[in-house]
A = this chain, B = another copy of it.
């Protein structure tokens, strides 16, 4: 009943979190999230290094395949009228690879936008939390100022008016003491005042980094799309130079793809470790950064019935003091106003102040309750650990697909352009015999 159903780690998080980790000496590393420990950093770097291994292996494979193709192809009789066997197969496998690359690009665009969605959910939750925290500070400041103003002006006037009757002055002094006590209790509620950590700043930093990450991926995706399309165009027009340029570009994009595989895999593994049990890490980090007591932080980060409201006592005391002030004012109005009509104006003004303060007090209670801030925390976690992680896995799939597709294309392209006729016409769709698509050489 207290907190609404919050964040729960997804199946992907569990799966990634269960993968074994090792440091550079291949000793097992526990999979708890500890980015400050050297062992854990080494485990993540090792995950990234696996991608480097993949790149090396695929480059070796391509080189061996092409050398074998160049050196071991059967000698072709000059002026032969039949094309080399498998020529069409090579072109078609190249087209299929490029199509797979295009499907990968679609997946990549989806993953990139999903990641971006998740991160923007994180930063909007941070902005919302910042809004709540600053609203608390602002409201407390306003209430304290209003009470202080009432004490300085109306209560002083009242005491001066009521001077002839000491018991009434004592009642007014009682109200003053209570009001001062309320103001003091309230000041203790502005718990985020003077805290060096600003969620707004964190949100801005996150958005800034995410913007460049998004842009980098969009550029990579567009580059790969252009490579695929121009390669297809080169095959269609049988333009040797275009296919050669695209072969070189494919090599470049292959290297970039493996690089991004490394980055994505390491980030996904780290993120899954964080997401499998985020509360202790976030609690510790926030405590270090803000210096707030663990009572307050556990109240907001856990928000269940086991953790009591750390402001409960202050709130109850303030509320009782406000109710007492109200009944004292009512008593004074009954006793004093018939005798001192000039006391009515400050009394009414004081009652108005108490009413407004009680209204603001309800708003403060609502703001201080853990529901709001805990919901932001849950939304931030869901953004990071569900949407962003899922997007990251889609990006990983894209990178793997494109690495595979580009490796296949790199194997096929040189064989395909070896089949092109020596001179190629420049017009596509010219209707001439030589512009027929993918027409093998020698026909």
Contacts and interface: CB of A to CB of B under 8 A. Distances in A.
A67 interface: no
A185 interface: no
Contacts of A312: 359, 362
A316 interface: yes
Interface stretch (A168-176, A339-347, A427-435): A427-435
A320 B315 contact: no
A289 B82 CA distance: 79
A371 B367 contact: yes
Contacts of A428: 89, 92
22 contacts: A4-B128, A4-B132, A5-B131, A89-B435, A93-B429, A95-B437, A106-B106, A128-B375, A315-B362, A316-B359, A319-B358, A320-B323, A362-B365, A363-B369, A365-B366, A365-B369, A366-B368, A366-B372, A372-B372, A372-B375, A437-B438, A443-B443
A245 B437 CA distance: 24
Query: In terms of DSSP, what is the predominant structure of the interface of chain A?
Result: helix
Nearest to A433: B82
Nearest to A2: B363
A41 interface: no
Contact of A371 (B4, B95, B319, B372): B372
Nearest to A117: B117
Contact of A436 (B87, B99, B326, B433): B87
**Most interface-central of A236, A355, A366 (chain B CB within 10 A):** A366
Contacts of A299: none
Nearest to A88: B436
Contact of A365 (B85, B87, B132, B365): B365
B4 A131 contact: yes
Interface in A18-70: none
A110 interface: yes
Contacts of A93: 429
Given A86-B429, A87-B436, 5 more contacts: A88-B435, A91-B437, A99-B102, A105-B106, A323-B323
A362 B138 contact: no
A370 to B, nearest CB: 9
A357 B436 CA distance: 86
A102 B101 CA distance: 12
Nearest to A436: B88
A433 B1 contact: no
A355 B110 contact: no
Contacts of A319: 319, 323, 358
